[in-house]
Amino acid sequence: MNSTAQTHTATLDATTDGPLPTLVKRSRPLTRNTPTLRGRVALVIGASSGIGAATARLLARQGATVVLAARREGPLHALAREIEQRGGHALAVPTDVSDRTAIDALVARTIAACGRLDILVNDAGIGAGHSIMTADARMERMLAVNLLAPARLMQAALPHLRRQGGGSIVNIGSIAGEMGTSGLYSATTFGLRGLTDSVRREVRSDRIAVTLIEPGYIRTPLTAGRRGRMPGPEVVARAVAAVITRPRRTVVMPWYWRIPIILTQLFPGVADRYLPSARGERVRHEDTPAAEVPAETSATEAAETITEQAEEALTL
């Protein structure tokens, strides 16, 4: 990595003061027909591991300058160095997205360093607390990170997207926001789904695309204890890159999770019977504690049971 890249990744953090060099040239607004991301600036929240890190790598390979934000400073700077060494452009900005002041500083640093902002990817989240009996402090933290942070980040980013004549916002939710399986966590992902729909309609005339991606179980360090085969975070990263260039309203990943979602909507009584046993499952977000008690029945097994019960109902 050259000395200039080292300076950029080392000095751009939440406490940086003063003007920063402009790293990308101005170009036309991102539109549906933009073939690559060359010259675009993407702000990736939750980029220190898992889906966020995979997304940052892919967007950088496609030519975007990626601004990496997460709480964990070490992994964040390591990823920035990796991207720079592979010929990309990356800036690490350690940020606690539960802090509104830190969010505003993050967006301000992005504009100061890069001169623009084209893409916002919201992937940070807390996944613990699968019962309504979750401790109050944990519930407040979950609401702050899973729901308030995406709202605040969109608030901070939208003036810049509007001024440039367009852009893209991608929120990473969860299938729990469709099926109601995990206490307040599900409530926050339901909320993110509604917020995404609302913002999409609000900014439609501004040529800003707003997409929700809802992953099921994805192979990340946080799902290392789960049995069975799971797709890697790259499958979600590819979906993010795809909706940036060809916007969609909602994407469920992997596709087969659409089946239990639809069946849950068609047969809510069956879902009520089988889904509660999944409340102890771990989910994919970066801040989820490593130690959690797994449920007796996994969400995948519960979804399979719903499918079987629905099939029986359809034959009656």
Tell me the Ramachandran region of residue 55: left when phi exceeds 0, alpha when psi lies from -120 to 50, beta otherwise: alpha
| Catalytically annotated residue among 185, 217, 256, 274 | 185
The angle subtended at Cα 49 by Cα 6 and Cα 96, nearest 5°, is 80
Spatial strand order in the sheet of 119-122: 89-94, 65-70, 41-45, 119-122, 167-172, 208-215, 250-253
- Token pair for residue 102? 């830190």
Q: Is 185 a catalytic residue?
A: yes
Bridge partners (DSSP) of residue 252 are 214
The residue assigned the tokens 């639809």 is: 262
Centroid of chain to Cα 94: 16
Residue partners of 106: CB distance under 8 A and separation at least 6: 14, 43, 67, 69, 93, 95, 97, 156
Which residues are the active-site residues?
A: 185
